Structure 1
Amino acid sequence: MKISATFTLLSIFILPLCSTPAFSQSTSKSKIEEAYRQFEKDPALKNGTVSLTVLNANTGEPIFQQNQQVGLATASTMKIITAATAFDILGKDFKFKTNLYYTGSIQAGGVLHGDIIIEGSGDPTLGSNRYPESQEEQLLNKWIYTIQSAGIKEIQGRIIGDDSRYGGYQVPGGWIWSDIGNYYGAGVSSLNWRENAVGVVFNPNSTIGKPATIEKLTADLSYLKIVNEVSTGKNGSGDNVYAYSGPYASNIYIRGTYGLDLKKTIEISVPDPAYDVAFQLSKALSHVGIKTAEPPSNGKAIASTNIAKQLLDTHESPDLANIIYWFNQKSINLYGEALVKAIAYQTAQKTETNEGTSLIQKYWENKLQISSSELNNQDGSGLSPQNRVTTAAMAKIMQYAQSQSWFPEFYKSLPEYNNMKMKSGTINGALGYTGIHQNSSGEKFTFALLINNYSGSSSAMRKRMFTLLDVLK
């Protein structure tokens, strides 16, 4: 009787505890399934495609999957894959280095018979105002002090922005013309500067349809011709301004409308960042009395990679964890492209974007058996409309991330939407969210939701997506 009573008593307490996870997962699955079925009935999805993968974050087991093997445009949710790859390959403490050199010799009276060279290694934060130690004014002052300390008072040469490591300034293949002239479509080189962008401050006309004049730029681009064709839009019309240029362009065309009541600095891309940093340093040196005999130049001015150089200074970027924080928080496309190239260069001495994306595909194929058709990435940021990735692959990589030593930094980088930690993505006709969430019952999920070719406004569709994801709370 005692044995039987003991067994019965233990059964009361043990059996429900053992069955809780299975019951919980079953309950979650039915709730998600019901919410998904309601969601897919939305008329805005009549001609669209929806894919959702939800995994048990503790076990990796699928809780719900629909169209999980269909490759879809990712928009900025691609950044999750780039960030995880960079953390795993480069390490969270990885830093870019930018070297300041001089060539030739310093003669009597402090005359440098040679050039000053700023040699980049791909740092996307150089000159960025997001980091105190990397801000434009801070760096220029540091370099001026270093040059002065070397005894240089005159330069019988020029300032060269050396962007030769990656073959100059490029944009990934597949990016569209209406994007690359704007800050979010800025290209990448081994010498990026001020996030390869500049701000334009407009002064709208009091009459709708009349020209909105440019009041100022946030940096001196007097070496470029800016053609302003922007007109004033009505109150509430917002920012419909687009810049048109490309790598090494000498003209920038700015078109569209700027709302009468808008108070916003418009960010456009700079066509040659390596030249721009050389120009800004040359100008700053001139202000302190150090003249250069020749005009500034980019890396094309360097005839030989074997030229003798004397090191003046090495600037280190913030560590990778800090870079990825802003990469995901503010969805900075440039950072993604810089990381793809860094991965390619550090692992295989490759420099092309397509070589980097191919290496990322092979990495996850070896690591998690994700095939290249599941992870068909054309860039590192998600700006290319040609990206095609499955939610199964995306959720699987998110699942992998949480078991790695760098996960706390990765998790911190995720923005918060709808009271959930997840990365968003928005591009024409595509919306997405991918993240990790623990609900009030203690259940933990990794998930990816992608929608392509929906109709109606993006804001309305986001609200519907949040309602669907609310079932995970």
Structure 2
Amino acid sequence: MVGKNTICTGWAVLVLFAATGGEVKAQNAVFSPEVIQTIENSRVYDAFWSVIVRDSTGKILEGYNFDKIVRPASNLKLLTSAMVLKELGPDFRYSTKMYGLGSQSGNSWQGDIIIRGSGDPSISGTFYNKDRFHVFEKFYRALDSLGIRKVQGSLIGNDSYFDQRVYPEGWSWDDLTFYYGVEINALSFNENAVDLRVYANNSIGEKPHIEWFPFDTDYVEFVNKQVITPAYSEYDESYRRIMGTNTILLRSTLPQNYVEKESLSIMDAPRFFVDTFEKYLSQGNITFSRPFSIESHTRNWESSRYTILEEHQSVPLRQLLQEVNKESNNFYAEMLLKTAAAEHYKTEGSTELGISLIETFAMDMGMDIEDLEISDGSGLASSTLMTSEDLSRMLVKMRSAPHFEVYKNSLSIAGRDGTLEHRFRNSPVAGKLHGKTGYISGVRALSGYLESASGQPLVVSIITNNYTESTSYVDSVQEEIIQQIYYKY
């Protein structure tokens, strides 16, 4: 923590008097007075700051508290995605298959239709021009082309590729209502969320109108207790899914004529997938004689009893990683973590096995795993811990990895795209920083690759913990530090 009583002696020893009790702490610090001054003069001088700058060889050029353990938030995705890239390779694709168990007789299929989940996080509209039914339409057309109108059996969803623990340890219940805290399951649709739209176009004091994707499904129940307030009043968001149910309470207050969009989580992801797909087929006049079901056991898929009616392959991993790092998508990070485990160990993918792969990878990268505590793959768990020293060391070593350009291109570009699109826009750093942001309550992080004003390639990491000011203000201080580093080298 940098405080008002900090005494800076250039490149020598930084002495910090604690704000309470006058305790003296000494640290060997290689830090410029300008950066120290920036932190001291800010309103977040009393937060905990961990900063490190390395050159392309890994030499530490500047640093403060870089050997101290901090919560990295989504900066953990830098480590997760690097491991996944090594394990799966940039051209890895998911394969989701639709099997027929039985045979066709005229316009009927005598038997069951089975969707075998592969852990694909992208069965949504993200890579298909926002067409969230893209994969469902592909499967529907396969059945339609065979002339099948009636299935004398069930639609079955098989999610045996992953284990049945749908949440990593350490996730807060407060997060489980929202898109960033959804279930992790091998058979997932629309990132396991419904997309809610709220239109405050009624009179003041009345309830706003709501709609949701997919097709106002009755898979979820919305209890609409929202109220429209006068125009230009403050919007106050309040959503909560009752745990163990698909009942979602809406208690927001919305200014008149306000439109709100929010993606909210569902319970029982494979059931949501199959329920939605069956309804989609029904709209195309393909029906089933028996109710759908979900199974979590594996089958002998190579048996001649099974016919592959259609197969969908995802976009390659090189594109999926951009959703992880540019967009900081927790769901993708967790799905890829379990996938890496399933592919490596040839068993059902789990968060625990994925974490073991991260730890092995971290050791290979020279990281001190004694300073590493990992609870998930995305960094949403506040129990995840590491040092910026280790994180930056891994980033340097990734420069010599076989697929470094794929890795670097998965990161946000300052002022251009992803979570950095609206940052550094009027700064010379725009276009010069490939970075990963991180945020959970009280944590803001920014790490990545910076090309300095002189063209020198640098690795930078700034992780701020325990702040009480606004996140946008912390962003501004971090950006000022990055800009100082940019000019200095």
Partner of 2:6: none
| Alignment coverage as a number of residue pairs | 440
Give the aligned CA root-mean-square deviation in angstroms.
2.7
Distance across 1 between alignment mates of 2:132 and 2:229: 33
Deviations 1:65-90 (A, max 9, x none): 22112221112111111111111121
Flag the 1:471–1:341 CA change in 2: closer, same or farther, 3 A: same
The one of 129, 146, 167 equivalent to 2:125 is: 129
Task: Give the direction of change, closer, same or farther, for the CA distance of 1:352–1:31 in structure 2 (3 Å limit).
Answer: closer
In the TM superposition, 1:229-268 aligns within 5 A as 229-232=225-228, 235=232, 237-238=234-235, 240-246=237-243, 249-260=245-256, 262-268=258-264
Give 1:236 deviation, angstroms: 6.0
* Candidates 335, 356, 363, aligned match of 1:358: 356
CA distance in 1, matches of 2:130, 2:146: 22
2:292 is aligned, of 272, 289, 296, to 296
Whether 1:39 aligns to 2:38 is: yes
Structure 1 unpaired stretches of 5+: 1-24
Q: Give percent identity, aligned residues only.
A: 27
Partner residue, 2:451: 438
Query: Which letter does structure 1 place at the counterpart of 2:384?
Result: N
Q: How much does 1:135 deviate? A: 3.9
Q: Alpha carbons of 1:444 and 1:463: their partners in 2 closer, same or farther (altered >3 Å)?
A: same
- Judged with a 3 Å threshold, the aligned counterparts in structure 2 of structure 1 residues 216 and 191 are, in CA distance, closer, same or farther, namely closer
CA-CA distance at 1:456 after TM superposition: 1.3
The equivalent residue for 2:97 is 99
Mark the runs of 5 or more structure 2 residues left unpaired by the alignment.
1-10, 13-28, 415-423, 425-429
Q: Establish whether residue 385 from structure 1 lines up as the match of residue 382 from structure 2.
A: yes
Give SS of 1:240's match: coil
State the 1:461 CA deviation: 1.3
Change (3 A) 1:168 1:113: farther
* In 1, Cα distance between equivalents of 2:479 and 2:42: 17
- Distance change in 2, residues 1:133/1:402 (3 Å): same
CA 1:255/1:66 → structure 2, altered by over 3 Å: closer, same or farther? same
- Choose 1 or 2 for highest CA Rg: 1
TM-score by length of 1: 0.86
Q: Spell out the pairing of 1:36-435 with structure 2 (5 A cutoff).
A: 36-42=35-41, 44-45=43-44, 47-57=46-56, 59-106=57-104, 108-126=105-123, 128-132=124-128, 135-168=131-164, 170-204=166-200, 211-232=207-228, 235=232, 237-238=234-235, 240-246=237-243, 249-260=245-256, 262-299=258-295, 305-306=299-300, 308-348=305-345, 349-365=347-363, 367-417=364-414, 418=424, 419=430, 420-435=433-448
Q: Which moved more, 1:412-421 or 1:383-392?
A: 412-421
Contact 1:100 1:314 in 2 (8 A): yes
Normalising by structure 2, we get a TM-score of 0.83
Q: CA deviation at 1:215?
A: 3.8
Give secondary structure in 2 for the equivalent of 1:312. Answer: strand
Alpha carbons of structure 1 residues 276 and 329: separation in structure 2 relative to 1, 3 Å: same
Q: Determine which structure has greater relative contact order: mean sequence separation of CA pairs < 8 Å that are 6+ residues apart, divided by chain length.
A: 1
CA distance in 1, matches of 2:190, 2:279: 16
Q: Deviations over 1:148-183 (max 9, x none)?
A: 334533112221222122134601111111111111
Q: Name the stretch that deviates more: 343-352 or 431-440.
A: 343-352
Deviations 1:288-335, CA, capped at 9 Å, x for gaps: 3222112223335x6x63484221122111100100112222111100
